[in-house]
Amino acid sequence: MSENCNQNCSGCGENCAERKDPKDLIEKLHKKSNVKKVIAVVSGKGGVGKSLVTSLMAVAMNRKGYRTGILDADVTGPSIPKAFGIREKATGDEQGIFPIASKTGIDIMSINLLLEDDTDPVVWRGPMIAGTVKQFWTDVIWEDLDFMFIDMPPGTGDVPLTVFQSLPVDGILVVTSPQELVSMIVAKAVKMANMMGIPIIGLVENMSYFKCPDNDKNYKIFGDSHIEDIAKNYGVPVLAKLPIDPRITAACDQGRIEYFEDGWLDDVAENLIQRTKEV
């Protein structure tokens, strides 16, 4: 074993005696859980809308009749419970931890469902945060989910590495915004997924434009998009472009994201359904 080994056997070319098959690194799901498909929502930068896309995807699949759940892996910056208006705390017994079901039946687990106060900061080092994410997979009882969506923290550090190595991720959605800087950082997330052998389902651009209610014209608040260039360079499709819409902010602030009617991600939902049928 190299003295610089980081235990990332899937991304290593060394042929050492301690080398593990990537499948051996996958954590076992709770014995009472059943999760058919796991989709991670990622980006290389914060503030681009991963939690929004995660929430809207879970809502879209739920409306199509699929059992969905959200694993909030953004331990230091959880926002999923707020978007769904969940205030109660998760409970458990000797068998495991029970997720909280949203008003429309979406199962959710987040660190904020375990903290005494939602505003309490999680001041933990990387290994402890990564361990918590693993426990959300191994110790939480996820009953009969067709799709689990993982809201990932930004970047390509401990938690994304843990999720890609320890959970059976079937594919990722990469979220970006129009700025060139963000596009460059998203390219890092795409490259990481390729290194880890995780299929990239496609790209979703958030804050793509603003539709003026007075003249019905679209305005590019953050400038011209660069998402097509990234898609071409890495051979992945652009699945959706979400506008800047004050109604989204209001729905999240009011905890009513599952009642927001938009249809922007319907094609992405159909893409996931089709991919499932093809397997």
- For residue 73 the two structure tokens come to 């892996």
pLDDT at 15: 52
Rounded to 5 degrees, what are φ and ψ at 147? -140, 130
DSSP 65-77: T--EEEEE--TTS
pLDDT at 103: 96
Number of domains comprising the chain: 1
For residues 210 and 97, give the distance between their C-alpha atoms in angstroms, rounded to a whole number: 42
Residue 31 carries which DSSP code? Answer: T
* Residue 67 belongs to a domain: yes
Rounded to 5 degrees, what are φ and ψ at 51? -65, -35
* Residue 77 belongs to a domain: yes
- For residue 16 the two structure tokens come to 């050492």
CA distances, 112 to each of 33, 77, 125, 159, 210 (Å): 21, 9, 17, 17, 32
* Residue 11 belongs to a domain: no
Which domain does 121 fall in, by range? 34-278
Contact between residue 258 and residue 86 where contact means Cβ atoms under 8 Å apart: no
Instruction: Indicate which CATH number applies to the domain containing 65.
Output: 3.40.50.300
Helices in 15-103 by DSSP H: which ranges? 50-63, 80-84
DSSP 216-271: --EE-TT-S--HHHHHHHHT--EEEEPPB-HHHHHHHHTT-GGG----TTHHHHHH
pLDDT at 22: 53
Which of 145, 125, 123 is CA-nearest to residue 71? 145
- Residue 213 CB neighbours (<10 A): 7
Residue showing tokens 């590019």: 220
pLDDT at 25: 82
**Which distant-in-sequence residues (6+ apart) come within 8 Å of 49 by Cβ?**
175, 177, 206, 207, 242
* Residue 23 belongs to a domain: no
* Residue 215 belongs to a domain: yes
For residues 39 and 202, give the distance between their C-alpha atoms in angstroms, rounded to a whole number: 11
> pLDDT tens digits, the chain, 279 residues: what are they?
455 554 555 445 455 655 455 556 899 999 999 999 999 999 878 888 999 999 999 999 999 999 999 999 999 999 999 999 999 999 999 899 999 999 999 999 999 999 988 889 899 998 999 999 999 999 999 999 999 999 999 887 899 999 999 999 999 999 988 876 777 777 888 888 989 999 999 999 999 999 999 999 999 998 888 888 888 888 899 999 999 999 999 999 999 999 998 889 999 999 999 988 776
pLDDT at 230: 82
* Residue 130 belongs to a domain: yes
> Residue 46 class from Cβ within 10 Å (0-12 exposed, 13-18 middle, 19+ buried)?
middle
pLDDT at 11: 47
Q: Are strands 200-205 and 238-241 parallel, antiparallel or unpaired?
A: parallel
* Residue 170 belongs to a domain: yes
For residues 130 and 168, give the distance between their C-alpha atoms in angstroms, rounded to a whole number: 15
* Residue 7 belongs to a domain: no
For residues 24 and 43, give the distance between their C-alpha atoms in angstroms, rounded to a whole number: 26
**Which distant-in-sequence residues (6+ apart) come within 8 Å of 45 by Cβ?**
154, 155, 182, 185, 186
